[in-house]
């Protein structure tokens, strides 16, 4: 019973300490999770965990550690606000991964971002095809901000009183030089059709295509290597 009471007290104190630290740091520090913030969260969790499960570690030492760590975080936040040059090191910079409707593969490689991950991030921004995007920026917290091309952005068909058209999902046929034969065959096409599409774009080999998708209402979209 004594151990359970002690654990309850330590959990309560740890929670209060972390809530106080959250208030001091401000909401934006925890809403925009950068790699540095992620490391901070792990360390703070470890500090509180030690207070609960390690009998040799006293709660006073943990509270002191949280205070010191919070002070360091506060100093770093102050530095990033006062000195612009420190932001790149401590917070990172956004990266333009789609510019003027074309994929920036150098930035994708630099940020270890493949096509599958990019498509996932774009879908979260209601962009179900790369062709819909004029500009896309990979933010420091790992999310993507999207500016769509005019024909895919507002106003909507409803705003213009235009009859609605069927909606189709894009299907990936080539990703990083490799053909997804399963997707190709499910869409009702074969290798001869695929080669014909590449010939029209003056592309000789599948390996010369970085990304290719197909939509029933718009046809193919190709990004070369």
Q: Is the pTM of this model over 0.75?
A: no
- The first and second tokens of residue 129, run together, are 């095809």
Alpha helices (H) along 26-158: 27-31, 35-53, 59-82, 85-90, 105-110, 115-124
Query: 18: closest CA among 38, 39, 48?
Result: 48
Q: What is the pLDDT of residue 62?
A: 67
DSSP tag of 207? G
Query: 18: closest CA among 59, 71, 54, 70?
Result: 70
CA dihedral 79, 85, 88, 93 (to 10 degrees): 120
Contact present, 124 and 144 (Cβ < 8 Å): yes
Contact present, 148 and 133 (Cβ < 8 Å): yes
Cβ neighbours around 186 below 10 Å, total = 10
Whether pLDDT at 55 is above 70: no
Instruction: Give the mean model confidence (pLDDT) for residues 23-45.
Output: 56
The beta-carbon contacts of 75-81 under 8 Å, at least 24 apart in sequence, are: 76/36, 77/25, 77/26, 77/29
Contact present, 183 and 169 (Cβ < 8 Å): no
Contact present, 43 and 49 (Cβ < 8 Å): no
Query: 118: closest CA among 108, 110, 126?
Result: 108
Instruction: Give the mean model confidence (pLDDT) for residues 56-80.
Output: 71
- Look-up: residue for tokens 């209601």? 126
- Look-up: residue for tokens 């769509």? 148
Instruction: Give the mean model confidence (pLDDT) for residues 114-131.
Output: 89
Query: 221: closest CA among 138, 120, 117, 119?
Result: 119
Query: What's the pLDDT tens digit per position in 176-220?
Result: 888 889 888 988 999 999 999 888 888 888 888 888 999 888 888
Query: 127: closest CA among 112, 144, 111, 109?
Result: 144
CA gap 136, 143 in Å, rounded: 10
Q: What is the mean pLDDT of the chain?
A: 77
């Amino acid at each position: 019973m004594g151990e359970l009471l002690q654990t309850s007290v330590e959990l309560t104190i740890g929670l209060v300490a972390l809530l106080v630290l959250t208030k001091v740091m401000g909401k934006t520090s925890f809403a925009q999770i950068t790699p540095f913030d992620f490391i901070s969260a792990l360390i703070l969790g470890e500090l509180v965990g030690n207070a609960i499960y390690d009998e040799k570690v006293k709660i006073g030492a943990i509270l002191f550690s949280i205070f010191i760590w919070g002070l360091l975080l506060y100093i770093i936040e102050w530095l990033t606000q006062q000195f612009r040059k420190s932001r790149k090191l401590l917070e990172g910079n956004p990266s333009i991964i789609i510019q003027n409707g074309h994929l920036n593969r150098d930035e994708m490689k630099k940020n270890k971002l493949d096509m599958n991950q990019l498509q996932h991030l774009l879908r979260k921004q209601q962009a179900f095809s790369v062709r819909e995007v004029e500009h896309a920026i990979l933010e420091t917290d790992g999310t993507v901000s999207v500016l769509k091309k005019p024909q895919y952005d507002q106003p909507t068909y409803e705003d213009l009183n235009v009859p609605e058209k069927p909606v189709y999902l894009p299907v990936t046929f080539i990703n990083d030089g490799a053909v997804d034969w399963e997707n190709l065959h499910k869409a009702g096409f074969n290798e001869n059709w695929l080669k014909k599409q590449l010939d029209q774009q003056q592309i000789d080999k599948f390996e010369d295509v970085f990304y290719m998708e197909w939509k029933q209402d718009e046809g193919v979209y190709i990004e070369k290597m």
